[in-house]
Amino acid sequence: MKTFNVPEFYRSPIISKVKQFRKVQDPRKKDNSATVLDFGNVKYYIARHFGFCYGVENAIEIAFKALEENEGKKIYLLSQMIHNPEVNKDLTERGVQFLQDTHGEQLISFDVLTKDDVVMIPAFGAPLQLIDLLEKKGIKTEKYNTTCPFVERVWKKSEQIGGSKHTIIIHGKHTHEETRSTFSRSEKHSEAVIVLRDMAEAKLLEEFVSGNKTQAEFESTFKDKFSKGFNIKKHFEKVGVINQTTMLATETEEIAEYFKQVMIKKFGADKIKDHYADTHDTLCYATNENQDATYGLLETDADLAIVVGGYNSSNTSHLVELCERKFPTYFISSAKEIDGTTIHHFDYHNKKELTTNNFLPAKRPLNIVITSGASCPDSILDDVMHKINTLVGGTKNEGEVLENLRSYNS
């Protein structure tokens, strides 16, 4: 796989050696067990896969290249390039300005843009109407388009199944930048598009697919989540499921299988190919790997879990969701959230920040699961472990620990 020119300050002495160890020890990526970092008084179980993915490293390389090549010019990002506050802060401190926030609300008017300005497209992509608006202003976006290739693969699938008259069901968060971008392309290629957040909404939609509820009820239930002109009597003859790449992969697969069974019940198993599109290949490899590795963390006997990433990061929130199944879990953006024995963390369910005192159990050795989202620099994980080591005290030398790396199953 291609390697990218990512700034050295995002790298990490500890994590780099951990990743290299696992690459050599498990080259075929068959072992999803945690890597064990044993500092004596505290032992870390680090996920097999975590941190920067292909799409994020691609975006960071392009963004810093844009800064290097356009000194003196105004440089804008359509919205946050990735959902990590430290990376976005690094860009704004170097002069990059955001035109919109993550929900598409305007921060800087498009009226100020000129054809000499540089506008970067974020890793999530951008809705077609915004691309068209920039092009009408004479702004070329191709050179500094950081859209993730795996997001673009979803778009190609939407074009394919939309061209065969399938209604497109998007498993995603309808306000998320990536889902808005995917929706705009799906709407271009298909007569009907709808966004579902989860399995609960899939079951609600089934009532309309099966003809048990009315058009008016559909429009009320899924307000702002479907394309113009969606007709439940016309547009549930053929369906296909695609996804926001950062959703829980297992849930996307569950939703897709659910609608396959719905269509079998409606039209018969012998006719399913005429009414249902197989779209399993839109799942992102990095999302899958990080989530599978988090399941591996659940096999450990840890006292708590720490998940590091941006609070608006969808893929990170799903890692938190998985860890919460077994451990007391703290979702933090950086080591700055640890203040002595107090931790400031994020409740993604209720979208609010919490404060927990004495978050570290008194027992020794202390066992901690740790992972991070796809947009989180490895250096931040290093900072978190260093801070906890200082709090715990009496930890082993870093060099000694790295010489004794092992996987949890070894």
Task: Write out the catalytic residue numbers.
Answer: 178
Rounded CA gap, 237 and 276, in Å? 9
* Closest by CA position to 176, among listed 310, 62, 49: 310
Residue found under tokens 């006292």: 303
Would you tell me the crossing angle of helices 177-189 and 149-163 to the nearest 10 degrees? 30
* Closest by CA position to 234, among listed 329, 176, 165: 165
- The structure tokens listed for 66 are 């844009």
| Adjacent-strand bridge partners of 329 | 305
In one-letter notation, the amino acid at residue 302 is A
Rounded CA gap, 228 and 250, in Å? 30
